[in-house]
């Protein structure tokens, strides 16, 4: 089936994306909404394709603390079971008489040994018990060194902390129209020397009807900023240089358009460059709309308030062309 749209000859094709050209070899969007690549590894064991270090740095804080807490609990249960197995009579100072009481007393002795607290109420009296206690003390040192390194890595890892709008808009712009989306910083630190690049992915059928991914670099009204302290609306004018020139909504859908967003900037606090990615599919476009203002002066007119909860707020606007024939 022949396609109903044509790509402008002035559109700038991008052949350096590193992404697959044959659409039959890829499924869905290239990047998730949060910027993570939409790819899953197969053909190797699970332990080879997962970096535990990277995983522990990227998971949410509550999951990280839960894993650390579970590891601490499991190790103490393991060593408490070993002490119980060799006989709790080899721990001098045991006061409990019931089986459960003796186990839990061994458990808390394990916790004291693992953390090198050593209250002195209980202590090992045999060679076997001393050997287990020595191994546990070494295990505790290694565990806390590992946990400390991971905690430092999580705190020191540079992050962009950017919030993207969930939608992209086709809005009136100057004498024509443009494709727009926006993002804003949501933490109390800001980026400098910020640069934005946007690549459009279009699935275009050849003469045999086979669809291929075509990549185009989108020209932006403004692609660089000295600093980013508020929201930034990225504007791609749809003119003769745009691959979307004379596109209708049907054409966007037929080409299964995806926008790949790449934002880089320098974080002065971390003294390092940070990178953020985003993605918009054609079904996340809103036609004939414009973003509402996100910021306003404070009541005393001494500062500016940025309302991050309004990042998706928009209102209808009449386009100068009909995109929905």
**Same-domain status, 132 and 246:** no
Kindly write down the DSSP assignment for every residue of 295-314, as one continuous string: EEE-TTSSSEEE-GGGTT-E
pLDDT digits (tens, 9 = 90+) for 62-98: 999 999 999 999 999 999 999 989 888 888 888 878 8
Q: Which domain holds residue 68?
A: 52-156
- CATH number, residue 204: 2.60.40.1400
> In the listed set 156, 190, 215, which residue is the last one of a domain according to the structure?
156
**Same-domain status, 219 and 291:** yes
**Same-domain status, 205 and 298:** yes
- CATH number, residue 67: 1.10.287.70
**Same-domain status, 67 and 143:** yes
Distance CA 182, CA 128 (A): 65
Count how many domains the chain has: 2
**Same-domain status, 81 and 187:** no
> In the listed set 133, 156, 179, which residue is the last one of a domain according to the structure?
156
Answering whether pTM is above 0.95, one says: no
Q: Which residue has the tokens 């003796």?
A: 102
**Same-domain status, 219 and 292:** yes
Distance CA 57, CA 151 (A): 8
Mean pLDDT computed over 316-322: 86
| Residue 175 domain flag | yes
Out of 18-27, 48-57, 64-73, 148-157, least confident range: 18-27
| Residue 229 domain flag | yes
Q: What is the pLDDT of residue 1?
A: 46
pLDDT digits (tens, 9 = 90+) for 20-42: 776 666 777 888 888 888 888 88
**Same-domain status, 27 and 173:** yes
Residue 261: phi and psi, rounded to 5, are: -110, 130
């Amino acid at each position: 089936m022949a396609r109903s749209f044509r790509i402008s000859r002035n559109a700038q094709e991008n052949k350096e994306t590193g992404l697959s050209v044959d659409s039959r070899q890829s499924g869905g969007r290239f990047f998730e909404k949060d910027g993570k690549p939409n790819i899953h590894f197969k053909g190797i064991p699970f332990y080879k394709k997962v970096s535990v270090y990277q995983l522990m740095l990227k998971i949410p804080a509550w999951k990280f603390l839960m894993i650390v807490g579970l590891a601490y609990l499991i190790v103490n249960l393991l060593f408490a079971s070993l002490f119980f197995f060799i006989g709790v009579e080899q721990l001098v100072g045991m006061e409990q008489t019931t089986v459960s009481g003796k186990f839990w007393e061994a458990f808390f002795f394990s916790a004291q040994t693992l953390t090198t607290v050593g209250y002195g109420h209980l202590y090992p009296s045999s060679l076997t018990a001393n050997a287990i206690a020595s191994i546990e003390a070494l295990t505790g040192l290694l565990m806390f060194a590992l946990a400390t390194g991971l905690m430092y890595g999580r705190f020191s890892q540079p992050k962009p902390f950017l919030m993207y709008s969930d939608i992209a808009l086709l809005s009136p712009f100057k004498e024509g129209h443009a494709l727009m989306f926006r993002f804003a910083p949501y933490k109390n630190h800001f980026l400098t020397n910020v640069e934005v690049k946007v690549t459009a992915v279009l699935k275009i059928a050849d003469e045999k009807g086979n669809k291929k991914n075509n990549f185009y670099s989108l020209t932006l009204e403004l692609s660089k900023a000295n600093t980013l302290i508020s929201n930034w609306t990225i504007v791609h004018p749809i003119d003769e240089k745009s691959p979307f020139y004379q596109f209708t909504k049907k054409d966007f859908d037929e080409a299964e358009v995806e926008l790949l967003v790449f934002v880089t900037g320098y974080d002065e606090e971390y003294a390092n460059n940070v990178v953020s990615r985003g993605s918009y599919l054609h079904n996340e476009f809103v036609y004939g709309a414009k973003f509402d203002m996100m910021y306003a002066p404070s009541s005393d007119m001494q500062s500016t308030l940025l309302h991050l909860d309004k990042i998706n707020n928009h209102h209808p606007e009449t386009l100068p062309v009909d995109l929905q024939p």
